[in-house]
Chains A and B, each alone.
Chain A
Amino acid sequence: MIELTHFQVLGAALFAIGLYGVLARRSAVLILMSIELMLSAVNINLIGYAAFVDFTEAQRSLGQVLIIFVITIAAAELALAIAIILRLYRNRSTVNADEINLMKF
């Protein structure tokens, strides 16, 4: 039987994997992909709550509504992130995370 815990653990695992990708990957686009993974992990959690938590149907619908919003915002953020990456690539001819260190001492 599937339990809420399955969804929660799966969401946590996907979030951690996405976090590793954000911190360890070199190309900015790959980092962006990892961010999408993290947002998807949030979605998994939300749908788990929507399915299992002991609320009324109307209350449980909030989970799905929130998922809609998360997807929307993810799309918006994706567009802006791509724009930034393109701009960065134009200025520096690189989008590698370890070559962009202007904020250092």
Chain B
Amino acid sequence: MGEANAIGINAAWVIPALSASAFFLIIVLNRVLGYVFPGSRVPSFVAPVISIGAMLAGFVLFWVVLVDLLQNGPGTFSIAWLTVGETEIQWGVLIDKLSVVMIGLVTFIALLVQIYSIGYMKGDPRFGWYFAAHALFAGAMLALVLADNLLFLYVAWELVGLGSYLLIGFWWEKRSAAQAAKKAFITTRIGDVGLLIGIILLFRATGSFDISTIFHVAASGGIGSVTLNTATALIFLGAMGKSAQFPFHVWLPDAMEGPTPVSALIHAATMVTAGVFLVARMLPLFELAPDVMMAVAITGLVTFVFAGTLALVMTDIKRVLAYSTISHLGLMMLSLGAGALAATLFHLVAHGVSKALLFLGAGSVMHGSDGETDARKMGGLRAKMPITAVTFIIGAAGLAGLPPLAGFFSKDEVLLGVWADLNPAFLVVALFGVFLSALYMARVVLLVFFGPLNPEREGAHESPPVMWVPLAILAVLALGVGFLAFNYTTDYQGFAGFMSSGHHFEVTGWLMGLSIAITLGAFAGAWLAYSRNTISHAALAARFPVIYKVLVNKYYIDEAYQWVIDHVVLVIARAVALFDRVVINDTGVDGLAISVRLSAMRTRVIQTGYLYTYGAAMVFGVVGLALIWWIFLT
């Protein structure tokens, strides 16, 4: 660890701390101002100012930390919190390339989303709480990516889940929103349990929560292979929950019940990437357990294709984007399973930017269309909301993988990693997934922005500047991030070289050509199907009714889960509740009390109140005493 700057790595912990403090500050201040300005005259700018201020400061500090990192190399900073026996539990931050990239992404996107939200959430009665929850979430996410020990990471992980729950269920008066929040929390909870068990297993094997210590012990063979496989599999389980991998993906489409900026932040760029980040962070451990890596890759691939098929038939714009997110998270997991950390991270950034842009754009479309989300009720909106249309198209193109946008290069790097490390079959299936992703993106764009203007959308209008300015910034970024992939100087050899020196950017001609061809083919197919109606998708749906029905019903997975819950989980829960009520409460606790009372009632009868009873008892006592004296004492 080198010399730290005046503020640099040592102050990296300030970044999450600022957001967390913003959360408390907003709540307290709103309460205080509620007394100063009675009624509903609390100035509404207080909350966003505080949380955006915290985020902005965090973003600025990110640059400081980056500079320090480039100059002095990675470092850690920790304070001891409490000591239990021989174990010392610490709060600490670990700054390396991975965490710095994540901090940059999270602070930037959170900043833009919060600015956007000022316009989107205008007039909402819980305006202040919205920003407080945002601050809480951002603080937790930043702490998560900075954590240097697994315990701290887990705490932040749970807080991120809490923030997500609060934000998805923000409009909790709507029954579906409350249920969606509950579903998200419960589904990710299943993964969280796995994560906790995995952490505990690693702690037992190595005696420490600290990540670098665990890596050291594992690298020197100090962890048995059974423990290692189990622990990594469980950690991946946690990642599956948060990153919506199959079969834990069911919460993400429903999470669209939350406000659209929330979807942009949480379900595009930050929370769902926490799972990817976790696997990436623990990758040295995963590399020691190749079977688990293979499982990761397979899960990722299945998710990539599975969600892609679903995105094709959804009619709600946000749901298409949700499934697209799931799909690309699968792609990231696939790439991690192939051991391509740099490619994964690059795609994470590119996808994050593009998907945030798409979600915010969708929000803008909804804002201008009176809250309508059904793509079938839209068409030709590019005339009515040009800025939104342009930025949306840029984001879509980026995600679909059109060069020279970011998505093309990142996807290419991922495919390269897959080809280099895994069975060629993986690449084939992945290319099919690439085809699907271009297809559904084009479909959405064509349905919403092109074609004749839908008569219901006569009153559509562009969004206010506070909303399209972030869109524009993100669009520029989406255009420009792609160029991070190239080699520039001897110090910076492409993103791959940034992550680990020795690598650099190469042009893989045949792979690039293949993916461009697939993408263009998908665009053509979409144009034919949705714009020209040459291949009518309605006719296709009629020719394969079973497939269509299965897809539209999301493979009936939600129904399957509900069945399991009703017939297994609730049955067991009822049995346990019955046991608790009958055995423990009625028999054990109440029973003891009742038995005491009954025995007392039976015994009380001796005190009849009649003197003759007492007299007889005295006589018997005398006789008894005499007998005892005679028999035992003489």
Contacts and interface: CB of A to CB of B under 8 A. Distances in A.
A97 B609 contact: no
B609 A104 contact: yes
Contacts of B604: 105
A21 to B, nearest CB: 10
A47 interface: no
A23 B615 CA distance: 7
A37 B541 CA distance: 115
A102 B609 contact: yes
B610 A101 contact: yes
A24 interface: yes
Contacts of B615: 22-23
Contact of A22 (B607, B610, B612): B612
Interface in B570-610: 604-605, 607-610
Given A19-B619, A22-B615, A23-B616, A98 B610 contact: yes
A53 interface: no
Interface in A5-36: 19, 22-24
B1 interface: no
A104 B608 contact: yes
B612 A100 contact: no
A22 B612 CA distance: 7
A103 B607 contact: yes
A102 B611 CA distance: 10
Given A19-B619, A23-B616, A97 B607 contact: no
A101 B612 contact: no
Interface string A73-105: 000000000000000000000000110111111
A24 B613 CA distance: 10
Nearest to B607: A105
B422 to A, nearest CB: 85
A69 to B, nearest CB: 23
Q: Which secondary structure characterizes the binding site on chain B? A: helix
Contact of A103 (B605, B609, B612, B616): B609
Most buried by B among A19, A102, A104: A104
A19 B612 CA distance: 10
Of listed A19, A22, A98, A105, residue having the most chain B CB within 10 A: A105
Contacts of B611: 97, 100
B607 A104 contact: yes
Nearest to B600: A105
A42 to B, nearest CB: 15
Interface in B613-628: 615-616, 619
A81 B619 CA distance: 21
A36 to B, nearest CB: 16
A105 to B, nearest CB: 4
Given A104-B607, A105-B604, A105-B607, A24 B619 contact: no
Contacts of A102: 609
A105 B613 CA distance: 14
B35 to A, nearest CB: 59
Contacts of A23: 612, 615-616, 619
A100 B607 CA distance: 13
A16 B609 CA distance: 23
A97 B611 CA distance: 7
Nearest to A104: B609
A24 B607 contact: no
A98 B613 CA distance: 10
A97 B612 contact: yes
B431 to A, nearest CB: 90
Contacts of A22: 612, 615
A23 B604 CA distance: 21
A101 B607 CA distance: 9
Nearest to A26: B612
Nearest to A22: B615
A49 B220 CA distance: 106
- The residue among B605, B610, B619 with the most chain A CB atoms within 10 A of its own CB is B610
Contacts of B612: 22-24, 97-98
B140 to A, nearest CB: 63
Contacts of A98: 610, 612
Nearest to A19: B619
Contacts of B610: 97-98, 100-101, 104
Contacts of B609: 100-105
B446 to A, nearest CB: 90
Contacts of B608: 101, 104
Contacts of A100: 609-611
A100 to B, nearest CB: 7
A88 B207 CA distance: 84
Interface in A51-83: none
Contacts of A104: 607-610
Contacts of B607: 103-105
A21 B39 CA distance: 88
Nearest to A25: B612
**Residue of B604, B605, B609 with most chain A CB atoms under a 10 A cut-off:** B609
A97 B615 CA distance: 12
B617 to A, nearest CB: 10
Given A19-B619, A102-B609, A103-B609, 13 more contacts: A23-B615, A23-B616, A23-B619, A97-B611, A100-B609, A101-B608, A101-B610, A103-B607, A104-B608, A104-B609, A104-B610, A105-B605, A105-B609
Interface of A: 19, 22-24, 97-98, 100-105
- By Cβ-Cβ distance, the 10 closest A-B pairs, closest first, are A104-B609, A101-B609, A105-B604, A105-B607, A23-B612, A103-B609, A23-B616, A101-B610, A23-B615, A104-B607
24 contacts: A22-B612, A22-B615, A23-B612, A23-B616, A23-B619, A24-B612, A97-B610, A97-B611, A97-B612, A98-B610, A100-B609, A100-B610, A100-B611, A101-B609, A101-B610, A103-B607, A103-B609, A104-B607, A104-B608, A104-B609, A104-B610, A105-B604, A105-B605, A105-B607
